């Protein structure tokens, strides 16, 4: 019989970094937590615990909700121009779901590896401050080093803190 403590595996638990147990997103969040990156706390219901849906092979990630003032996505390369010396940031006030659903067009920034803006398209009069772009660039480089390649990162800023919500490889280069 499986104990209740095995029903969930917290991001800080080493077992959560196992993709076979935690799935790709859960393992990625656990790996980010392990290296001290700013990830909201959460846990994974392992694949073996979710029931008899063997064909789905999906773990369930549960994460503390962040109520963002700002949110968006960071590409640690420019996937359209295929430039590794540039990063692309899209940002909006409030929840990033507005961008995903197509309800809002985000501000668009092209930055260098240090976070300095090279080109901007500001729909919302500038969602991000220059120091926030620098911090995103620094965190993006840390993620690239840790995961071994360019990343597509979802992020949020709440109560003055920047949180990393998800990171996955950029596959379009």
Strand partners, 163: 156
Is the dihedral angle over the CA atoms 155, 156, 157, 162 positive or is it negative?
Answer: negative
Q: How confident is the model at residue 173 (pLDDT cuts 50, 70, 90)?
A: confident
Share of the chain above pLDDT 70, in %: 90
| Mean pLDDT on 124-135 | 96
Tens digits of per-residue pLDDT, 27-73? Answer: 999 999 999 999 999 999 986 655 555 545 678 899 999 999 999 99
Q: Tell me, what's the pLDDT at 33?
A: 97
Contacts of 70 (CB under 8 A, 6+ apart): 91, 92, 93, 94, 127, 128, 132, 156, 157
Flag whether the pTM goes above 0.85: yes
Nearest to 132 by CA among 84, 40, 68, 81: 68
pLDDT averaged over the chain? 90
- For residue 48, the model assigns a pLDDT of 63
Q: What tens digit of pLDDT does each residue of 96-120 get? A: 888 878 889 999 999 999 999 999 9
CB 122 within 8 A of CB 113: no
Q: What is the pLDDT of residue 2?
A: 44
């Amino acid at each position: 019989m499986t104990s209740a403590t095995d029903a969930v595996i917290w991001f800080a638990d080493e077992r959560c970094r196992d993709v076979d147990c935690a799935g790709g997103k859960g393992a990625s969040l656990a790996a980010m937590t392990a290296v001290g990156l700013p990830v909201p706390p959460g846990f994974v219901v392992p694949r073996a615990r979710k029931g008899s849906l063997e064909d789905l092979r999906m773990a369930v990630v549960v994460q503390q909700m962040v109520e963002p003032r700002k949110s968006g996505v960071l590409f640690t390369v420019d996937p359209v121009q295929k430039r590794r010396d540039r990063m692309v940031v899209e940002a909006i006030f409030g929840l990033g779901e507005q961008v995903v659903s197509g309800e809002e067009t985000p501000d668009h920034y092209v930055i260098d590896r240090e976070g300095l803006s090279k080109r901007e398209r500001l729909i919302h009069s500038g969602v991000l401050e220059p120091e926030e772009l620098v911090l995103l660039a620094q965190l993006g480089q840390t993620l690239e080093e840790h995961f071994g390649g360019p990343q597509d990162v979802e992020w949020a800023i709440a109560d003055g803190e920047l949180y990393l919500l998800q990171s996955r490889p950029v596959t379009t280069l």
